[in-house]
Amino acid sequence: MSSPRQGSGAVSPDPRPALATVEELQARIAEIDPAVRAVCTPNPAAPSDAARLDTERDDGRTRGPLHGVPVLVKDNVDTADLATTAGSLALADQPPPPDDAVLVRRLREAGCVILGKTNLSEWANFRGYASSSGWSAYGGLTRNPYALNRSAGGSSSGSGAAVAAGLSDFAIGTETNGSIVCPAALNGIVGLKPTVGLVPQQGIIPISHSQDTAGPMTRTVAQSAALLTVLTGGGTDYLEACRGKDLSDVRIGVLRGSLWGYSTGLDQVTEKALETLSRCGATLVDRLSLPALGDDDQLQVPLHELKVGLAKYLATRKDGAPRDLAELIAFNQSHPDEELPWFGQELFERAEATGGLDSPIYVAARLSALRTGRDGIDTLLRENQLDALVSPAYSPAWTIDLVNGDHVLGSSSSHAALAGYPLLSVPSGTVAGLPVGIVLSGTAGSDATLIRLAHAFETARIEADGPFPTPEFRQWV
């Protein structure tokens, strides 16, 4: 499998044939995944796809640096040869989508092998209030490889846990608000949520067209950069941003306030991460904060956009599948033991009751979200002449509690979610053996800048502390 050379900005080719790598990973999935449940739908065609790519390489034809690399894809991204369910039984027995999502087509064209689909929090964690991240009726419960009684985060739970567990170095997640950076932080991997619109949304089961995006989830920053290059169509080589650890020309704002103080261990690890950034030469501008968030604005935008976007998506599926949100609600009501054993569908019901994208409630909420998100971030960057912002990512993984739902102590994704701006989570250390990370954020189109900063931090942290610890699959922490 491809792996980046530390500090080189390149992705080195794996000398093994793609088929050997795929077969090794399939064996590992069979051995490890019954405990983790990260992969919900293996791809039976992966070996033959890998063999075909090996033949191309033997004939002197390669499609790029990710030729023959196995990639896992979140189960809300369309694959024409595999089920796409969003974790719901309402779509589980339906034929696969008629076409690959644009990003899947790009992966195949770049020579990637689709190894399978990863489990997710059902409907990307936007169905009910008391959900448990990583649970879906179709895929079951994904667990954190570092401690099996703890959450893998959501909603890209399977993608994060799979990379951490060594089931693939490369996976695709999607994010509306935290769904890439949260499982990346909790599973000790790199998660990049690109600027909204940079990766095409066609063929992704939607929540919010103004906030949704797919993005890379990988072991290293350089791997995420290489994957982002493919996902965006290759017009920009994001690997060029991985160019060492000198940040002497960079100014980074440190976000404080409510983003700190909910986990003493996380705060301590993050302070050490700030020291690492300083050693790289970055100028840190401390004690900054973003505008307070309005809870209703955070909900009203995706509630209104879900109803419209989901109906548009479901129209692309074959006859027999639900046609709209109302039919999905009715399906869940008719299958309560399978779909509703742990939490309800209050968010679905609220979305169904919305009045459309011309509703004054939606228009006002969208404008408020942009003022809080975009204006808040851009003003802070401009007034302090900053290249990026940094904060703790998420608390260490919380214990799984299907009865009461998630126990999230704090997060760092909401302002960027409202703005449609990029985030990058990179491992910073551990607390009681559980991974934690920092999140780098910036304005629209600053993805390459965030990659540069994260790669420098990653390189310096590894030089100081050694490789990030691998999961031990402990039963309890």
What are the pLDDT digits (tens) for 129-165?
999 999 999 999 999 999 999 999 999 999 999 999 9
Which residues are within 8 A (CB) of 250 and not within 5 positions of it... i.e. 6 or more apart?
Answer: 281, 282, 283, 387, 388, 453
CA distance 136 to 119: 7
DSSP 8-class letter at 282: P
pLDDT at 5 over 60: no
Three-state secondary-structure class, residue 120: coil
State the average pLDDT over residues 378-400: 98
pLDDT at 7 over 60: no
pLDDT of residue 12: 59
pLDDT of residue 275: 98
CA distance 376 to 187: 29
- Token reading at 8: 């080189």
CA distance 227 to 223: 6
What are the pLDDT digits (tens) for 250-277?
999 999 999 999 999 999 999 999 999 9
- What's the pLDDT band for 14 if we cut at 50, 70, 90? low
pLDDT at 297 over 80: no
pLDDT at 303 over 60: yes
Residue 26 buriedness (CB in 10 A; 0-12 / 13-18 / 19+): buried
- Token reading at 152: 């893998």
What are the pLDDT digits (tens) for 355-374?
999 999 999 999 999 999 99
State the average pLDDT over residues 88-107: 97
Nearest CA among 192, 186, 225 for reference residue 397: 186
pLDDT of residue 13: 56
State the average pLDDT over residues 326-342: 98
Which positions are annotated as active-site residues? 74, 155, 179
Which residues are within 8 A (CB) of 48 and not within 5 positions of it... i.e. 6 or more apart?
Answer: none
| Other Cβ atoms closer than 10 A to 210 | 20
Indicate if the alpha-carbon torsion angle 172, 267, 211, 95 is positive or negative.
Answer: positive
Residue 474 carries which side chain, given as an amino acid letter? R
pLDDT of residue 187: 98
Mean pLDDT across the chain, nearest whole number? 95
pLDDT of residue 11: 65
CA distance 106 to 117: 16
pLDDT of residue 318: 87
For residues 395 and 295, the model is more confident at: 395
CA distance 211 to 305: 10
pLDDT of residue 307: 98
- What's the pLDDT band for 8 if we cut at 50, 70, 90? very low
